[in-house]
Amino acid sequence: MHLQHRKLRHLPTVAVPALVTGLALLGSVALPASTASAYDLRVRSWGQNASGQLGDGTKVNRQTPVSVVGMSGVELTTIAAGGTGTNGFALTLLANGTVEAWGKNDKGQLGNGTAEDSSVPGLVAGLGGVEAIAAGGSHALALLKDGTVKAWGNNKEGELGNGTVVDAKLPVTVAGLDDVKAIAAGDTFSMALLKDGTVKTWGNNKDGQLGTTPRPAKSTDPVPTVFVPPAATPRTTALTVPELTTVKGIATGASHALALLADGTVMSWGLNANGQLGDDTTATKPYPVPVLELKNVTTLSAGASHTIALLQDHTLRGWGLNANGQVGDGTVTQRTTSVPLVGLTGVLAIASGAAHNLAVLGDGTVQAWGNNAAGQLGDGTLTQSPTPVQVLAKSGNVSIVAAPSSGNFSLAR
């Protein structure tokens, strides 16, 4: 696609809170105020760009951050990244309640009524009054100010929640949902956190990622090593996850899900082949189980097969698949329970890609670790790192980061 030049919008300047992509929280963490330049406030991107997901008007991979065309950070409240493998797309929520999208669009995930990819941002059609966004493998969600949810894109597994399995190139309403506080999207499933602290899920349940299967009657009952999904999959409308009543945040990986409870502990469910549930097993759980050896959590982010937790003391713990060093403990050893990340303190925000992670520090700089085959660490190399490295941005004023749980690119503002 030819580069399209767009005029910057002139919206009222707003205070942009530190938001964490990957975990949908009831609140946000405010970063110190800064006197950022116009360049500092642009949305920047790096890594895989085969679908134009970096939004710079090209399809060239980038090993260091580039600016998204026409997207000035003063006008947006958050960003989200979706996609799988080399295919990717991105969303931004603007201060006026509209959403823009770019990247892969084969399933209508850009929400503009077409199936054509775009390497520059364009409006999602017919959306207004949006207060939160989420991006899955090839579908997207928008939480409206009235507590309802819109969805668009791929719907083969019912991930749009509108009672069908028909893809939608324009936003449709998720059926039977209101009083929603937060949203999250996995590869082919979706989640909503309600204001009463309960959670609803819909979409693909082949790996138990909906969490709606009843728990075994007795704790001594064996857990099957292979989860056999119920016949009624996919789930095309939202269903409540049992036993969760005090949830304050949600997060999704490719095929696993997590709930942050009010007491700072975490429950997880879904695919667990690589220990991504953190329960010291590799058995898939179609119902919530406690993440072991973990407390005082404030934020979660999840990649394809690993999970990262931000603690109250601004340190991190990670678990799950670690073949690319994505757990961040300096090794490539798989972890079925959480371990501390090496040499990283003062963290305010996190995001996780398929096998890499981003962390915003108190000084507004970004550290990254894990897989780097497409340059998604942003350090100017293609070398993976099992410990954090500095993203080579031109400033230290980042407050928001995003990465797709099954993709290989990064976003920051």
**pLDDT on residue 123:** 97
Across residues 10-39, what is the average pLDDT? 40
The CA distance from 47 to 63, in Å, is: 6
Rounded average pLDDT over 33-62: 82
State how far the Cα of 31 lies from the Cα of 349, in Å rounded to an integer.
10
Which residues, in sequence order, are CB contacts of 214 under 8 Å at separation 6+? 242, 287
Q: How far is CA 250 from the centre of its chain?
A: 10
DSSP string, 42-104: EEEEEE--TTSTT-SSS---EEEEEEEEEEEGGGEEEEEEEEEETEEEEEEEETTS-EEEEE-
* Position 229 confidence tier, pLDDT thresholds 50, 70, 90: low
User: Whole-prediction pTM value?
Assistant: 0.90
Structure tokens belonging to residue 164: 């069908």
Is residue 254 a contact partner of residue 406, using CB atoms and an 8 Å limit?
A: yes
- Res 395 pLDDT > 80: no
On whether residue 91 sits in a domain, the answer given is yes
In a domain, 123, yes or no: yes
β-pairing verdict for 285-290 and 266-270: antiparallel
Per-residue confidence (pLDDT) for residue 27, from 0 to 100: 34
Q: What is the pLDDT of residues 287-329, one digit of tens each?
A: 999 999 999 999 999 999 999 999 999 999 999 999 999 999 9
Is the Cβ–Cβ distance between 111 and 89 less than 8 Å?
Answer: no
Please give the span between the terminal C-alpha atoms of the chain, in angstroms, as a whole number.
Answer: 25
- pLDDT tens for residues 92-134? 999 999 999 999 999 999 999 999 999 999 999 999 999 999 9
**327 found inside a domain:** no
Q: CB of 155 within 8 A of CB of 125?
A: no
CATH number at residue 198: 2.130.10.30
Residue for token digits 């991930």?
A: 159
Considering all CA atoms of the chain, what is the largest pairwise distance in Å, rounded to the nearest integer? Answer: 63
- Residue 378: band (very low, low, confident or very high) from pLDDT cuts 50, 70, 90: very high
Give the confidence band of 66 by pLDDT, cuts at 50, 70, 90: very high
pLDDT 10s digits, 134-145 = 999 999 999 999
Hey, which residues does 103 pair with through a beta bridge?
89, 118
| Beta bridge partner(s), residue 258 | 251, 268
**Three-state SS sequence of 22-33:** CEEECCCECCCC
Cα angle: 375, vertex 380, 386; to 5 degrees: 65
Task: Confirm whether 138 is domain-assigned.
Answer: yes
Domain range for 64: 23-212+224-303+399-412
DSSP tag of 18: B
The residue with greater pLDDT, 14 or 182, is 182
Q: Is the pLDDT of residue 15 over 80?
A: no
Which amino acid appears at position 136 of this protein? Answer: G
pLDDT at residue number 42 = 81
Per-residue pLDDT of 363-372, as tens digits, reads 999 999 999 9
Q: Rounded to whole angstroms, how far apart are CA atoms 114 and 272? A: 36
Q: Is residue 202 part of a domain?
A: yes
d(C-alpha 281, C-alpha 284), whole Å: 8
How many domains is the chain built from? 1
The pLDDT score that the predictor gives to residue 39 is 47
